[in-house]
Structure 1
Amino acid sequence: MAVNVLVFPCGSENALEIHQALTHSIHVQLFGASSVDDHGRQLFDTYCGDLPRIDDGRFDQAFEALLAEWKIDLVFATHDTVQAYLSERAQRFGVRLVNGDPDTCAIARRKSLTYAAFADQPWIPITYTSPEEVEAWPAVVKPDLGQGGQGFARVSGVKDAYATLERTHLPLLQEYLPGEEITVDCFSDYQHELRWVGARHRERVRAGISMRSTFPGPDPVIDDIAATLNQRLRLRGPWFFQLKRDRQQRWKLLEISCRVAGSMVAHRARGVNLPLMAIHDHLQRRVSPLPLPEIDLVERRILTVAQLNCHFDTVYIDFDETVIRDGLAIPSTLNFLYRMHFKGKRLILVTRHAGDPRETLRKARIAVELFDEIIHITDGRAKSEFIRGNAIFIDNHFPERLDVATHCAIPVFDVDALEFLS
């Protein structure tokens, strides 16, 4: 029996990671919801994009109704404020929230509460009550409620500090940490055991997202910090914390979070699927990470998806330089064709291939049966003469696309565009 899993909000980078981490699992049925129409529409087969915001008085009733309609068992919250809000209501909603202990979420949401809860630890940064207390400049001002470095400012002296404190909402004034920064992804199970601690360097960051990750060697100090956080907080599922070195190269805690981080994909690339571990933990199965240390670098890039605003039931596709090149299958085209087959579209090969297209398909190790029909044009007629119904047409040759677009009035695509079509 599958676990019905809701990702909310479902259009963010970490929502994408949860989707990709769980989409192939036979144990999961995925659902996505957001309060604004977003990229989640492209990801989730079952999607709602018009929920009220959590600060709207209508949210609780609408969210509870959606949970009931979709029979949701487990919720991943992808924003810290949403995580804290839902943690106070999940029990009443009759659903389990991953890492949803209300007290833990409240502590993680505010840096001041985090620092107070671990004030006896040497890895808590120095916080000042006024600029006059600062022992060494520069110092930093950051919001108590915030994440991903938002609102961070370095201040050079007393006057600068007062001005920055004045314009920052719920500000904290702290020591400046000039050293390296790392993120540590963790997993705690239903028996409160810490099952995974994995540090990663964020070597290249764009818009707060780590695009290049490497992995430092073992560090007992990091392990001890993770163990202490897990011991004092009620954590269950994926969570993470961030550290930075001070002027004496000692690790200091920046923040902790009870949600999945978008760049946890770096560990999934190394064989540790933290969102999927949460599903098995939900079923009270003991999880055991199996990392691949041979992978020491993870690079990311922007993914672009286009929404095709028309109905089609058939894909007509050219053969040479579209499905095959130099006698070999083009992997991106095969990926597209199988996606369309999965969605129930008819696949029709339409070609002027010089030989027998069926034999060439076999030599390229492409199943002839992938295509519902093969149209082999040998008399010079235009491909547009063979196209019928609600269809799209793919061909690497522009004159062929122009002919079909002109005479059949259907969408036409070159091979490079296939990656955009979901």
Structure 2
Amino acid sequence: MSKKNILVFPCGSEVALEIYRSLEHSIHFNIIGGNSIDDHGKFVFEQYIGNIPFVTDDLFIESLKKIVVEYNIDAIYPAMDLVLHKLKENEEELGCKVISSDIDTTSICLSKSKTYEKFKSLIQVPEVFQTIESIQTYPVFLKPDVGYGSRGVLKANNSNEVHNHIVKHPNALILEYLPGKEFTIDCFTNFKGELLFAGARERSRIANGISVHTKTMALDERFHSIALIINATLELNGAWFFQLKENKQGELVLLEIASRIGGSSAVYKAKGINFAALSLFNAFELPVSILENDFEVEMDRALNNIFKIAIEFNHVYVDLDDTIIVDNKINYNLVATLYKFINEGKQIHLITKHQFNLAETLLNYKIDRLFDSIIHLKREDNKFEHIKYTDAIFIDDSFQERKDVLDKLKIPVFGIDLSFK
């Protein structure tokens, strides 16, 4: 298969970032980020297209059609439910594949009320209260019929709270409150409709509707049987997931189904399952199979910082002791950054006052071929006097060394606490 150009849109969502992490080193797919607003996706995707009209804009599809032609896009990978449905609805007009299940399935998955109506005779679904007067027991849970994350949700303890929320969110569903554990079951169905994988994980900590702490678990037969029912009822294709929550009696109740990957499905990559790659191969109707490592995985997520710095440089001067080697171990984050610079054609210069046999140290730490030049100084030497390139940056753990270089040479200086993009 020739390398395919894949547009991920919108590229700043948690789902999009997981797609990127899953595919950034792929030899089969070239990943391009597209966005309507310049959010985190701009900092992540090396190839980035901004100022795309919003999905609700009349010019949205027309603009994407032009991008498909200009960038020779083979497929668009939607990273938000509403976008997914809109793109699938216009797939033929767009002139490329849309990575998703069919339009009928995306329509059902987009709406919780449609989902509950479709499955109420097959799977236990939450009780839905049509009016405030019909509520017999509090608390109840309100959530948008169409929505994602924690936007527009409320645990209401009385009728006044329900009324006030409905005024602000008129499309909200009034549902029975489910107090038990919450689970996500990540699934994959091939283009023949065969369910190849279903894996459960517990959503043990949630922030803004996103599972930020999750762990895999043995697939309870209850989970698997529900996966089979959903797969047999909908025309699913590629990665998808569903969520369940226990009611007061400990029974599993369906919360929602999504015909896309889950943002925290990354936990299964540690077990050898790359849902994004599988979905792309599957979209081009290439046969795939599942390899799963036999151990359980726990994953925790937190905010990450990426810096884009408005400087141009061709040379990197970097210290060794307490910079590349810290506590007798390689600073692998810094070394990874140095290799990123090498990929960009920059030259790496080691500048060090190492007190031992330098050649032996570099060999022992397996970094003897990392550098374009090596400047081995005496303890009393000034590093700034041995830096000959001014289109450079300087990386050193020593504040005094950084101060001297900045004061004397006016080139940017950094400690070992910054990740470059």
Tell me if TM exceeds 0.5.
Answer: yes
CA 1:154 to 1:209, structure 2 compared with 1: closer, same or farther past 3 Å?
Answer: closer
- 1 CA distance for matches of 2:137 and 2:357? 79
After TM superposition, give the deviation of residue 401 of structure 1 in Å.
0.3
- In 1, distance between residues paired with 2:164 and 2:39? 37
Residues in 1 aligned to 2:314 and 2:263: alpha-carbon distance in whole angstroms: 35
- Deviation per CA, 1:110-160: give whole Å up to 9, x if none: 111111222312412221222333343322222211112322223334454
- Asked whether the 8 Å contact 1:244–1:251 carries over to 2, the reply is yes
| 1:374 matched residue in structure 2 | 374
Q: For the Cα contact (< 8 Å) 1:212–1:300, is it kept in 2?
A: yes
Q: 1:403 to 1:157 in 2, by over 3 A?
A: closer
- Alignment correspondent of 2:60: 59
Amino acid at match of 1:421: F
Partners of 2:404 and 2:138 in 1: CA distance: 69
**Residue in 1 that maps onto 2:385:** 385
> What do residues 276-325 of structure 1 show as CA deviations (whole Å, max 9, x unaligned)?
11122123232222222323322223221111111111111112221224
The SS at the match of 1:344 is coil
Equivalents in 2 of 1:200, 1:321: separation in Å? 40
Residue deviations 1:181-206 (CA, integer Å, cap 9, x gap): 11111111110111111111111222
Summarize deviations over 1:369-395 as a string: whole Å, max 9, x none. Answer: 321111222484422223213111001
Residue pairs, 1:333-372, within 5 angstroms: 333-366=334-367, 368-372=368-372
RMSD over aligned Cα atoms: 1.9
- In the alignment, what sits opposite 1:303? 304
In 1, Cα distance between equivalents of 2:159 and 2:354: 77
2:409 alignment partner AA: C
Separation of aligned partners in 2, 1:158 and 1:415: 55
Instruction: Please report how far the alpha carbon of residue 213 of structure 1 lies from its aligned counterpart in structure 2 after TM superposition.
Output: 1.1
Secondary structure of the 2:253 match is strand
* CA distances 1:69-94 after superposition (whole Å, capped 9, x unpaired): 11111221111111111111122111
User: Where does residue 43 of structure 2 map in the other structure?
Assistant: 42
- Counterpart mapping for 1:94-105 below 5 A: 94-105=95-106
Q: Percent identity?
A: 35
Counterparts of residues 92-171 of structure 1 (less than 5 Å): 92-171=93-172
Alpha-carbon distance in structure 2 between the residues aligned to 1:412 and 1:347: 15
| Change in 2 beyond 3 A, CA 1:134/1:325 | closer
Query: 1:357/1:109 Cα in 2 relative to 1: closer, same or farther (>3 Å)?
Result: same
| Cα separation, 2, equivalents of 1:201 and 1:94 | 39
CA contact (8 A) 1:327 1:360 kept: no
| Cα separation, partners in 2 of 1:313 and 1:120, compared to 1, 3 Å | same
Q: Which residue identity is paired with 1:191?
A: K
One-letter amino acid matched to 1:369: R
Q: Deviations over 1:11-66 (max 9, x none)?
A: 12221111111112211111111101122222222111221112222222221111
In 2, the alpha carbon distance for the partners of 1:215 and 1:300 equals 15
Equivalent position amino acid for 2:209 in 1: G
Q: Partners of 1:293 and 1:369 in 2: how far apart?
A: 37
Aligned residue number for residue 271 of structure 2:
270
In 2: Cα distance, 1:328 partner to 1:116 partner: 58
Cα pair 1:195 1:287 within 8 Å, conserved:
no
Paired with 1:134 and 1:236, the residues of 2 have a C-alpha distance of 38
Distance across 2 between alignment mates of 1:331 and 1:155: 49
Unpaired runs of 5+ in structure 1?
Answer: none
**Aligned equivalent of 1:174:** 175
Structure 1 stretch 237-246 or stretch 201-210: which is displaced more?
201-210
- Preserved contact between residue 38 and residue 49 of structure 1 (Cα < 8 Å): no
1:421 pairs with 2:420: yes
Task: Give distance in 1, aligned partners of 2:343 and 2:253.
Answer: 49
C-alpha contact 2:123 2:254 (8 A) present in aligned 1? no
TM-score, length-scaled by structure 2: 0.94
Compared CA separation, residues 124 and 344, structure 1 to 2 (3 A): same
The alpha carbon displacement at 1:247 in A equals: 2.1
Whole-angstrom CA distance in 1 between matches of 2:97 and 2:363: 50
Alpha-carbon distance in 2 for matches of 1:413, 1:393: 6
* CA–CA distance in structure 2, aligned partners of residues 231 and 170 of structure 1: 29
2:123/2:226 contact within 8 Å kept: no
TM-score (norm: length of structure 1): 0.94
Quote the Cα distance in structure 1 between the aligned partners of 2:209 and 2:158. Answer: 27
Q: Secondary structure at the match of 1:148?
A: coil
Q: Secondary structure of the equivalent of 2:196?
A: strand
Q: What is the CA distance between 1:328 and its match in structure 2?
A: 4.4
Equivalences for residues 210-359 of structure 1 within 5 A? 210-325=211-326, 328-359=329-360
Of 322-331 and 255-264, more deviation after overlay is shown by: 322-331
1:356: how far off?
Answer: 4.3
Over 3 Å counting, the alpha-carbon distance change for 1:409 and 1:177 in structure 2 is same
Q: Any idea what SS the aligned residue of 1:315 has?
A: strand
Q: 1:267 deviation in Å? A: 1.2
Give SS of 1:215's match: strand
Consecutive unaligned residues in structure 2, runs of 5 or more = none
Q: Report the number of matched residues.
A: 419
Structure 1 residue 209: Cα displacement: 2.5
Q: CA deviation at 1:234?
A: 1.6
Which residue number in structure 1 is paired with residue 404 of structure 2? 403
Distance 1:386 1:338 in 2: 23
